[in-house]
Structure 1
Amino acid sequence: MKVVVLGGGVIGVTSAWYLARLGHEVELIDRQPGVAMETSFANAGQVSPGYSTPWAAPGLPVKAIGWMLRKHSPLLIRARLDIAMIRWMGQLLANCTEEAYERNKSRMLRLAEYSRDCLDDLRHETGITYDDGQAGLIQLFRTQAQLDHAADDMRILAAGGVPHELLDQAGVVRNEPGLAHSIHLLKGGLRLPGDQSGDAHLFTRRLADMAAAAGVRFRLGVSIERLLHGPDLIDGVQTSQGVVTGDAYLAATGVHTVKLLQPLGLRLPVYPVKGYSLTIPLTDASRAPTSTVNDETYKVAMTRLGDRIRVGGTAELAGYDLRLRPERRETLALSFGELFGGGDLDRATYWTGLRPNTPDGTPIVGSSGRYRNLWLNTGHGTLGWTMACGSGRLIADLISERRPNIEHEDLALSRYAA
């Protein structure tokens, strides 16, 4: 069977890899001249199944108001007349209940843990390297309230069988010695030993090379204009270089999947959430993360990637705006400077990307429903790198009519039908 994969980010490339491994003819189309040039380019670098948590949580509305009154807010909503944003925010608020939070977090953990295992298998099978590390993650708490709230997440982690450890100040420094000079700012931390790190852009480029060697055809620098369709089948893809046809089609174009599928009568509950990152040259390893940490106060992640430090975070609802705003850079630099400081901020590279977020935090992986040969793999939000291999393997199994290794029905678009 020929499968046409739309999108060359980490989700599209991992999907293409697993499809090719199952014996399909695969053709991947992306408008960029290379793979992983948009949202996958400079993310926070964390493969963090244990940290897979939906935004929609009890108390979020009150927290959000408090955040937005702060100068260095982890959340910013830019006022605009945007019906899609208003609808998405309404769905997000509807998921801010205890019941919805537990349901959403549990299924996110299921997919993320599976994805980490798939990544392990892929690394062992192929020997792929990507400035990767397997030393775990620490969520850092600056306040007693944050430390107290960790008990709720630990209960869900325990139910899902996810290893975790609550750390006092000494435990934090024992695992991340670079925090010794700033430990007075912290109350403790939650360590997730099963989490990992790595450069998603480097991983995607190297996996794309392996996929090409396995027979995947990459059509890069080619714009996807529209999908040609009948009542219940996709007939082809109109591109800037003509029509591409196949037996099955996989939409994995991140935030752009929404506009691609609207003419087909498919409404995806996905909205772009803008994130920023700094890539900082390492100058002092003794004052840098050995692996990866998350500053719970500023919602900023800091990850060691070889001789670089990736600092990523903040969330901004501003449509498809890709302007680099200096105040967002200040927040990233502040968090890193207070906690570590072992890098040259003056030579840091500043970047922004649009994360495809669903209102319940769970990606959309599965059948499109209406069109029998159209499949979806999108909506991963901040966890595209974390969930890439598991999502890619799952969708390849589904397209191939193979029985997946995990429960998957509640990951499909159909969960929004009600």
Structure 2
Amino acid sequence: MKVAVLGSGVIGVTSAYYLARAGHEVVVYDRQSGPALETSFANAGEVSPGYASPWAAPGIPQKAIRWLLMKHAPLILRPKPDAAMVAWVWRMLLNCTAERYAVNKRRMVRLAEYSRDKLIELRAATGIRYDERMQGTLQLFRTQKQLDGIGKDVEVLKRDGVPFEVLDPEGCVAAEPALAKVRELIRGGLRLPNDETGDCYKFTVVLTDLARELGVEFKYDTQVQQLRFTPDRIEGVQTASGLETADIYIVAFGSYTPAFVKPLGLQVPVYPVKGYSLTIPIVDESRAPVSTIMDETYKIAITRLGDRIRVGGMAEISGFSKDLPPPRRDTLAQSVTDLFGGAGNLEAATFWSGLRPMTPDGTPVIGKTSYKNLLLNTGHGTLGWTMACGSAQVIADIASDRTPDIEVGDLALSRYG
């Protein structure tokens, strides 16, 4: 069958690759000039299935109030008259219960673990390189209260069979030797030894070339305007250069998905949550991280990518703004300077922002819609890189009318009623 994939971020490109490997004729459409030039371009670099957790969790409403008052706040709210923003925040708050958190985290970990396995298979089959490292992720706690609060996450990790280590300060230093210089800041850590890191942009660019070798056609600089449809089918996708047709259509437009499918009567509860990153050239290897550290105080990830350090984080609810306020840069710089001061040249750092497509329950929207030949693969939030390969295999299985290897019924749009 001919499949049209709309979007060429890491989700769209991996979908195209797995669809082509399943024997389909695939065409990818994107308004950008190449792959992974938006949200996938400079993300935190983590492939962290064990940290696949919904932001909606017990206690978050109370923490959010404190965060909003912090100088280096992990959460920033810039209110505006936006009904979609209000509705999304309200639905997220409804998921901040222990019961909903457990349900949402289990399905996120299920998909993320499956995706990590698929990435390992892909790497073995293709030899793809992307500044990858397989040295785990360390969640770092600066206060005893943070360390004491990991119980609910540890319970889920145990239940799902995810290997983990609870570390004292000396254990944290053993995992990340450069932390020896700031041992007094550390109360403990939670380490997931099976997590990975890598440059999502490099991965997506190389996978694009591998997809081309399988026959995938990429139509860049192509403005996708709308879908043509009947009451139960998609008839074509209207682009600036004309109507394009396929047997199956897959929307992977990230934060732009809801507006694109709204004319079809589909309500997709995805909203952009803005994140920021710094990419810093390393000048002192001895002071640099060897893998990924999650700074729990600032909710920031500090990741080693080859000869660079990627510092990414924060959650800003501000619509589709892509501005780069200096205070956000200061927060990233504060975290990395605290823990790895002198490792990189901050003056030469690149400052970036991207729009993470978030659902109110944290789980992406993957699968069928009420239109027989329209599928969605969107809403991965901060975990698009972590969940990309698994999501792509699932969408390829559904398009091929095969039963996926994991349970996927609770990933579809229908879970929202």
What TM-score does the superposition give when structure 2 sets the normalisation length? Answer: 0.99
* 2:190 corresponds to: 190
3-state DSSP class of the match of 1:277?
strand
Q: How far does the alpha carbon of each residue in 1:345-394 deviate from its partner, in whole angstroms, 9 at most, with x for none? A: 000000000000000000000001x2010000000000000000000000
Q: How far does the alpha carbon of each residue in 1:106-144 deviate from its partner, in whole angstroms, 9 at most, with x for none? A: 100000000000000000000000000110000000111
Shift of 1:39: 0.2
* 2:311 corresponds to: 311
* 1:113 corresponds to: 113
Shift of 1:44: 0.2
Shift of 1:274: 0.3
- What is the CA–CA distance in structure 1 between the aligned matches of 2:293 and 2:331, rounded to whole Å? 16
The yes-or-no answer on 1:376 pairing with 2:371 is no
* 2:4 corresponds to: 4
Shift of 1:151: 1.8
The yes-or-no answer on 1:76 pairing with 2:76 is yes
* 1:416 corresponds to: 416
The yes-or-no answer on 1:222 pairing with 2:222 is yes
3-state DSSP class of the match of 1:226?
strand
Shift of 1:403: 1.2
* 2:398 corresponds to: 398
* 2:163 corresponds to: 163
- What is the CA–CA distance in structure 2 between the aligned matches of 1:362 and 1:109, rounded to whole Å? 10
Shift of 1:152: 1.6
Query: One-letter code of the match for 1:273?
Result: V
Shift of 1:245: 0.4
* 1:281 corresponds to: 281
3-state DSSP class of the match of 1:236?
strand
Counterparts of residues 3-402 of structure 1 (less than 5 Å): 3-341=3-341, 342-368=343-369, 370-402=370-402
Query: One-letter code of the match for 2:181?
Result: H
- What is the CA–CA distance in structure 2 between the aligned matches of 1:126 and 1:236, rounded to whole Å? 33
- What is the CA–CA distance in structure 2 between the aligned matches of 1:153 and 1:62, rounded to whole Å? 19
3-state DSSP class of the match of 1:407?
coil
3-state DSSP class of the match of 1:147?
helix
Stretch of structure 1 that moved more, 387-396 or 147-156? 147-156
- What is the CA–CA distance in structure 1 between the aligned matches of 2:350 and 2:246, rounded to whole Å? 40
- What is the CA–CA distance in structure 1 between the aligned matches of 2:65 and 2:320, rounded to whole Å? 23
Gaps of 5+ in 1: none
- What is the CA–CA distance in structure 1 between the aligned matches of 2:240 and 2:281, rounded to whole Å? 39
Query: One-letter code of the match for 1:308?
Result: R
Shift of 1:240: 1.3
Query: One-letter code of the match for 1:31?
Result: R
Percent identity over paired residues: 60
After superposing on structure 2, the runs of 4+ consecutive aligned residues of structure 1 that deviate more than 6 Å are none
Gaps of 5+ in 2: none
Shift of 1:241: 1.5
Shift of 1:56: 0.4
Q: How far does the alpha carbon of each residue in 1:67-123 deviate from its partner, in whole angstroms, 9 at most, with x for none? A: 001111000000211110100011000000000000000100000000000000000
Count of residue pairs brought into register by the alignment: 416
- What is the CA–CA distance in structure 2 between the aligned matches of 1:267 and 1:215, rounded to whole Å? 33
- What is the CA–CA distance in structure 2 between the aligned matches of 1:284 and 1:406, rounded to whole Å? 44
3-state DSSP class of the match of 1:283?
coil
Shift of 1:285: 1.0
- What is the CA–CA distance in structure 2 between the aligned matches of 1:257 and 1:21, rounded to whole Å? 25
- What is the CA–CA distance in structure 2 between the aligned matches of 1:303 and 1:158, rounded to whole Å? 25
Q: How far does the alpha carbon of each residue in 1:2-22 deviate from its partner, in whole angstroms, 9 at most, with x for none? A: 000000000000000000001
What TM-score does the superposition give when structure 1 sets the normalisation length? Answer: 0.99
Q: How far does the alpha carbon of each residue in 1:167-219 deviate from its partner, in whole angstroms, 9 at most, with x for none? A: 00000000100111112111000000110000000000000000001100000
- What is the CA–CA distance in structure 1 between the aligned matches of 2:251 and 2:201, rounded to whole Å? 20
3-state DSSP class of the match of 1:386?
helix
Shift of 1:282: 0.5
Query: One-letter code of the match for 1:74?
Result: P
Shift of 1:150: 1.1
Query: One-letter code of the match for 1:344?
Result: N
Query: One-letter code of the match for 2:146?
Result: Q
3-state DSSP class of the match of 1:119?
helix
